[in-house]
């Protein structure tokens, strides 16, 4: 029976490798991904030292529950049977020197009877294998797959617990071009609920997914409904000490979502360079400084008089977007 299951897993992995090129993108057409790595001064590395790899590998494995550890071991042994010994050797080298892989005694948790768990986790294993990721990244995502197969707790807590954030930051230069493929692999296997974890990881390296639909701006998983006229929101904005509001230009009026957002989220909205979506700020200094980070500030300017017109700046590299402010 063990040999039959191992054969099934190998076939699933082979199918995953052959079909990866046909995986559909998870992002709808109206979504734009913006990168703020430079603007936020985020330093992404080019890998990790041996000591760092050892520390994070042990943190990753130790965080998993005993059941999740069994799934993880089963997956890396199944990969070894299919010809990829890299994670078996990685586990022995960095986590457990006493561990030895014996193909004739493939570990099998009783929890692995679930065919859905088998298929999802094995499918991820095969597709990650095809991406040729750095070993520590490959290992981290395999641990995530094992944890999601036997989920305990919030998905973001899992990502934090296994140390995946530190792994992504340190190895971003090597995996950035493969990021969308990684996201697609996990969403196709476990559904859109895992996007919360990937939005968290993207934020660590200054990547935000922004959608504008009518008067709604969505940044990663947060929706901002801009249904309050800017002139109505000004008093509360000042009284509450708020600095940046998401805003849209609709029907010749500026509409805001009266929710104070961070400077980095404000930058992400500006960088989609939309003529209808922008930022509303409480002072000209905030507006100018925000646009200075976008290729330099152009302005201030205004295009009419009355309550529906506001002074604003543009970022010279993103001239369509407006950063309106209270004069």
Residue 37 has pLDDT above 70, yes or no: no
Q: What is the pLDDT of residue 110?
A: 44
Q: What is the pLDDT of residue 46?
A: 64
- The secondary structure of 38-94 as a DSSP string is TTTT----S---HHHHHHHHHHHHHHS-HHHHHHHHHHHHHHHHTT--HHHHHHHHH
Tens of pLDDT, residue by residue over 213-256, are 999 999 988 999 999 999 999 999 999 999 999 999 999 899 99
Tens of pLDDT, residue by residue over 266-298, are 999 999 999 999 999 999 999 999 999 999 999
Q: How confident is the model at residue 106 (pLDDT cuts 50, 70, 90)?
A: low
Residue 102 has pLDDT above 90, yes or no: no
Residue 326 has pLDDT above 80, yes or no: yes
Mean pLDDT of the chain: 84
Q: What is the pLDDT of residue 105?
A: 60
Q: How confident is the model at residue 19 (pLDDT cuts 50, 70, 90)?
A: very low
User: So where are the chain's domains?
Assistant: 2-208, 214-325
Tens of pLDDT, residue by residue over 150-201, are 888 899 999 999 999 999 999 998 998 999 999 999 999 888 889 999 999 9
How far apart CA 33 and CA 11 sit, in angstroms, is 35
Residue 38 has pLDDT above 90, yes or no: no
Residue 137 has pLDDT above 60, yes or no: yes
Tens of pLDDT, residue by residue over 46-89, are 679 999 999 999 999 999 999 999 889 988 988 888 889 999 99
Report which of residues 29 and 310 the model is more confident about: 310
Q: How confident is the model at residue 10 (pLDDT cuts 50, 70, 90)?
A: very low
- The CA–CA distances, whole Å, from 278 to 63, 267, 298 equal 41, 9, 15
b (16+ CB within 10 A) / e for 75-111? bbbbbbbbebeebbebbeebbeeeeebeeeebbbbee
Encoded tokens for 242: 């708020």
Span 294-323, average pLDDT: 93
Best CA proximity match to 241, nearest among 281, 277, 278, 270: 281
């Amino acid at each position: 029976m063990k040999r039959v299951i191992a054969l099934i897993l190998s076939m699933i992995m082979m199918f995953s490798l052959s079909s990866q090129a046909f995986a559909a993108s998870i992002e709808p057409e109206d979504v734009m991904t913006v990168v703020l790595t430079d603007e936020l001064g985020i330093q992404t590395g080019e890998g990790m030292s041996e000591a760092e790899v050892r520390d994070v590998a042990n943190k990753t494995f130790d965080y998993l529950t005993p059941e999740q550890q069994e799934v993880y071991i089963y997956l890396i042994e199944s990969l070894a049977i299919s010809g990829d010994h890299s994670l078996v050797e990685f586990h022995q080298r960095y986590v457990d020197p006493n561990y030895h892989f014996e193909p004739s005694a493939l570990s099998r948790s009783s929890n692995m009877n679930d065919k859905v768990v088998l298929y999802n986790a094995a499918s991820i294993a095969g597709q990650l294998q095809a991406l040729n990721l750095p070993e520590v990244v490959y290992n981290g995502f395999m641990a995530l797959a094992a944890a999601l197969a036997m989920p305990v707790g919030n998905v973001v807590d899992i990502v934090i617990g296994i140390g995946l954030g530190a792994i992504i930051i340190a190895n971003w230069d090597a995996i950035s071009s493969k990021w969308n493929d990684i996201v697609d692999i996990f969403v196709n296997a476990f559904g859109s609920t895992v996007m919360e974890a990937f939005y968290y990881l993207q934020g660590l390296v200054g990547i935000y997914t922004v959608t504008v639909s009518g008067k709604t701006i969505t940044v990663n998983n947060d929706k901002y409904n801009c249904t309050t006229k800017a002139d109505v929101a000004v008093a509360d904005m000042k009284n509450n000490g708020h600095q940046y509001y998401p805003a849209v230009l609709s029907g010749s009026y500026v509409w805001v979502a009266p929710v104070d957002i961070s400077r980095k989220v404000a930058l992400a909205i500006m960088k989609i360079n939309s003529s209808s979506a922008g930022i509303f700020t409480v002072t000209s200094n905030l507006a100018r400084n925000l646009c200075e980070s976008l290729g330099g500030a152009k302005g201030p300017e205004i295009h009419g008089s009355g309550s529906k017109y506001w002074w604003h700046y543009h970022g010279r590299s993103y001239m369509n977007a407006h950063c309106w402010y209270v004069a």
